[in-house]
Amino acid sequence: MIDRIVSELGPWNWMVLGIVLLVMEVVAPGVFMLWIGIAALIIGAVSLAIWDAAFWTWQVQVLAFLVLAVVSAYVGRQIAVSRQGSVDQPLLNRRGAQMVGRTATLTEPIKNGRGRIRLGDTLWRVSGPDLPVGTQVRVTGAADTDLELTVEAI
């Protein structure tokens, strides 16, 4: 059955798959389908050139596509990582980390290691030593989830 589908579509089956994957990337961007779509288009171009070769069976095409998809995804990841190296605002999406070093006054006491402070227009959960309301504290750290700050008394 697969032999029939591949032989009827010819090398265009890879072109169609590549275009479908690129459209999927446009609809739901994530920069992953892009590289797999490019791999399918390359296999399609190779298929156009050597379609009549005896060794170019659908099994060889699928294997070549899988290898090329992995290689292109790896290359795409390396390109993305190399471009992330120099950013002008490294803490842009890490609000809690932006608060480290700031001082505030406790709006709720820290009891059993938990309390609240107000920084700007946001009420933050904090952890630290038990302290009464009104104590000046300095933010010393932020949880990875940015939902809680660590504080110490000034």
Global confidence as pTM: 0.54
Rounded distance, CA 6 to CA 70, Å? 22
Going by C-alpha positions, the residue among 132, 138, 134 that lies closest to residue 151 is 138
Distances (CA, A) of 144 to 1, 15, 26, 95, 150: 51, 43, 31, 10, 11
- 77's tokens: 């990841």
pLDDT of residue 85: 64
Say if residues 101 and 139 touch (Cβ distance below 8 Å): yes
**Per-residue model confidence as pLDDT tens digits over 86-140:** 667 777 788 888 899 999 999 999 999 999 999 988 899 999 999 999 999 999 9
pLDDT of residue 136: 95
CA 96 to chain CA centroid, Å, is 20
Query: What are the chain's domains?
Result: 1-87 (no CATH), 91-151 (2.40.50.140)
